[in-house]
Amino acid sequence: MEQMMDSNQMEKFKNILIKQIDHILDQTNVSRSELNAENNRETECIDQASVQLDQSMRLRLRSRESRLFNKLRLALERIDNGIYGECEICGEPISIKRLEARPMTTKCIHCKEEEEHLESILH
């Protein structure tokens, strides 16, 4: 059984989450600039198809980053509410190693494995 985190560990994870959010925001700004530059540029048909494919891939990536951003934001809210690091299923502490690997996680490894096992049976 894991122990609850102390304030230093909590602050460490808060900083990790903030850095990841900042990185996503930086990437979003870069992508917007690139998309605007490409939209303003005159292109030939072949180049235009390539540009559209590139834009489509970037938009899909931004969509994934948007979902990650929301998970990170919710993790910061859990820190503010004093429940960060607690499994949302069983209420037990999530291991520090698991949080280091995936700081936005909401489930301990046991509950996550159970969830994945049930999903594999149902699908």
In sequence order, the 6+-apart residues with CB closer than 8 A to the CB of 109 are: 94, 95, 98
Indicate whether 1 belongs to any domain. Answer: no
Indicate whether 115 belongs to any domain. Answer: yes
In which band, very low, low, confident or very high, does the pLDDT at 106 lie, cut at 50, 70 and 90? very high
Higher pLDDT, residue 25 or 72? 72
- Average pLDDT of every residue of the chain: 86
Indicate whether 14 belongs to any domain. Answer: yes
User: pLDDT of 65-79, one tens digit each?
Assistant: 889 999 999 999 999
In sequence order, the 6+-apart residues with CB closer than 8 A to the CB of 46 are: none
In sequence order, the 6+-apart residues with CB closer than 8 A to the CB of 1 are: 92, 93
Q: What's the pTM?
A: 0.75
**Domain count along the chain:** 1
Indicate whether 2 belongs to any domain. Answer: no
Indicate whether 40 belongs to any domain. Answer: yes
Structure confidence at residue 62 (pLDDT): 81
Structure confidence at residue 22 (pLDDT): 93
In which band, very low, low, confident or very high, does the pLDDT at 100 lie, cut at 50, 70 and 90? very high
Residue 48 has pLDDT above 60, yes or no: yes
> Residue 105: in which H helix or E strand, if any?
none
Structure confidence at residue 1 (pLDDT): 54
Q: What is the DSSP letter of 85?
A: T
In which band, very low, low, confident or very high, does the pLDDT at 17 lie, cut at 50, 70 and 90? very high
In which band, very low, low, confident or very high, does the pLDDT at 45 lie, cut at 50, 70 and 90? low
Q: Which domain holds residue 114?
A: 7-122
CATH number at residue 12: 1.20.120.910
Indicate whether 90 belongs to any domain. Answer: yes
Indicate whether 62 belongs to any domain. Answer: yes
Distance, in Å, from the CA atom of 41 to the CA atom of 55, rounded to the nearest integer, reads: 13
Indicate whether 81 belongs to any domain. Answer: yes
Structure confidence at residue 33 (pLDDT): 63
